Chains A and B, each alone.
Chain A
Amino acid sequence: MGDYSSEVISNIDRDYIAGFLDTGKRIDGRAFNECRNTEIELDVVAAKAEGSALVRLGDTAVIAGVKVLLGEPYGDSPDKGVMMVTAELPPLASPLFELGPPKEPAIELARVVDRGVRESEMIDTAKLCIEPGKKVYMVFADVYPLDYDGNLIDASSLAVAAALQTAKFDEYKWEDGNAVPTGKKLDLPIQNSAVEVTVSRIGRHLVIDPSLKEEMVQDCRLTIAVDKDDKLRAMQKGGGSGPLTLDEIETSMTMAVDRAQDLHKLIKETIKARKKK
């Protein structure tokens, strides 16, 4: 295979990867609906972050860290806290990532992961208010890919979900016009869970959890956020301008819901194992 250190990919590689799919196989031997080995490691930044998780999806690795700060609420929601996901594509993680302020791919990653958390109402922001109009908790979930071998969205969404659901932060109460710490630690008000699953279209084939090589030849991808009740909470078609048929979208949804059930189970079991420690 060729050298993937630049985004240019030769037609020979392109034909090889796409042609292999016609024989029913993927270049790494996976079935079309088979994901790479998925692991969650919790509390990797235990001493400084309120919550943190490292997710490995095959050779892709992403770390998510949660910080909870005090801040002023937005004018249109004075009694609600703030939740925000941000992402960087650090050049450490891939020869494809360049130095400099976040460009479109980093912004898309952050916004798609953010939408999964927001639209699933994973966090009850009404419970993040200390004093309406004055002080609320601001929850930042920041994503840092460490090793990029494709499908950052799914790895990031899983890391963010795991980090948020295991975060502990200092409680504050409102006293004489000031927020003062009570000395108590709180869990975030978690009321749902959502994970994102990405299906990539290459030619007329649909493959789940695309690797980097597959992403490079894909016509487009569809990312679907699925909550713990199998409801679809957000979608994003991206990764190229290739169109999708309605049938392809429906197939992708089925693949996503199946995979999401496994991921929800994985989050649950990982958190359970942590409690035992």
Chain B
Amino acid sequence: MSPETKPSFLINPEGLRIDGRRTDEIRPIELKVGVIKQADGSASIRQGKTYILAAVYGPRELHPRHLTINDRAYLRCVYRMATFSVPDRKRPAPSRREREISMVIANALKPALFLEDYPRAVVDVFIQVIQADGGTRCAAINAASLALADAGIPMKTLVPAVAVGKAEGKLLVDLGDEEDKYGGGDVPMAMLGTTGEITLLQQDGSFAKEELVEAMGMGVTAMKYILELQKEALKRAYAKKVAIEGEDVDEYEDDLETDLGEAEIAGEEDE
């Protein structure tokens, strides 16, 4: 119910944004893998004040059966916001917005997966927004991609995502809530970590063509950084698990990198 007021500026005279960031600076991101014990794979993301959980179940039997795809698994993404995640209470029933975002998230993740390995099955990706403060669909993709890796679903690559937008004529990376609401445009995007191909692209607001091309370039730079954060989070989760099994592991097990399509790093073996 907290009444939201429009800030008097989005970029201050020194060129800094409302939360003190530079225009090309993303919010602090905290990624955790394996946060939900009941799930086959899970991850959480805190990106600024945005807080999202993602859980993966499967591959498992698909219900209802009429959704079955005979030559590959069905990827079912469900993006939901908690009633208390937004300033006004969100009605509990799924909204049109949530349904559309679920669909574009599925499309963003699909190209990274070997779904043909599991014909007729389903891989469920459940995303729960606990606190929404801008950029939730991109943050959701960042977490969902990690949860899929945690579940051991065969993947070509991780999928980082970020939104680039515009306020007061300047391009801004990783829009916060106010920048999204009162700014001049929003371009959420996601890419395949290995090839850089874009798997999510949406836009609102008004951009010149050159502006949009520049925005996408800034997005790709930010996503490359987020990809590194995702890899770090996976390594943290799995290096810890190895240590629990009683071996002396000071460093990360680098052979994990091969699973992420990072053959060149796999050369540096642990002693």
Contact = CB atoms under 8 A, between A and B. Distances in A.
Is the pairing of A and B real? yes
Interface of A: 5, 44-45, 47-50, 52, 59, 61, 63, 65-70, 86, 88, 90-95, 98-99, 101, 140, 142, 144, 146-149, 169-170, 181
B101 interface: no
19 contacts: A45-B82, A47-B49, A48-B49, A48-B132, A59-B38, A65-B82, A66-B84, A67-B89, A91-B78, A91-B124, A92-B36, A92-B39, A92-B54, A92-B128, A95-B38, A142-B83, A144-B82, A144-B128, A146-B128
A44 B44 CA distance: 13
B128 A45 contact: no
Contact of B133 (A48, A61, A95, A142): A48
Interface in B197-235: none
Contact of B38 (A88, A93, A169): A93
A59 B37 contact: yes
A141 B54 CA distance: 23
B1 interface: yes
Given A70-B1, A91-B57, A149-B37, A65 B83 contact: yes
Nearest to B48: A47
Contacts of B51: 44-45
Contacts of B145: none
A165 B57 CA distance: 35
Interface residues of B, number: 35
A142 B80 CA distance: 14
A94 B127 CA distance: 13
Which of A59, A67, A99, A170: most chain B CB closer than 10 A?
A67
B131 interface: yes
A47 B133 CA distance: 8
A93 B133 CA distance: 23
A188 to B, nearest CB: 13
Contacts of A91: 55, 57, 78, 124, 126
Contacts of B131: 44-45, 47-49
A170 B89 contact: no
Interface string B49-78: 101011101001001000000000000001
Contact of A63 (B2, B57, B124, B130): B130
Given A49-B85, A50-B2, A148-B38, 4 more contacts: A45-B130, A67-B1, A146-B128, A170-B2
A92 B53 contact: yes
B83 A169 contact: no
B84 A93 contact: no
Given A50-B1, A91-B124, A65 B38 contact: no
Interface string B80-94: 101111111100110
A149 B2 CA distance: 35
B88 A65 contact: no
A99 B126 CA distance: 10
B28 interface: no
Contacts of A148: 38
B78 to A, nearest CB: 6
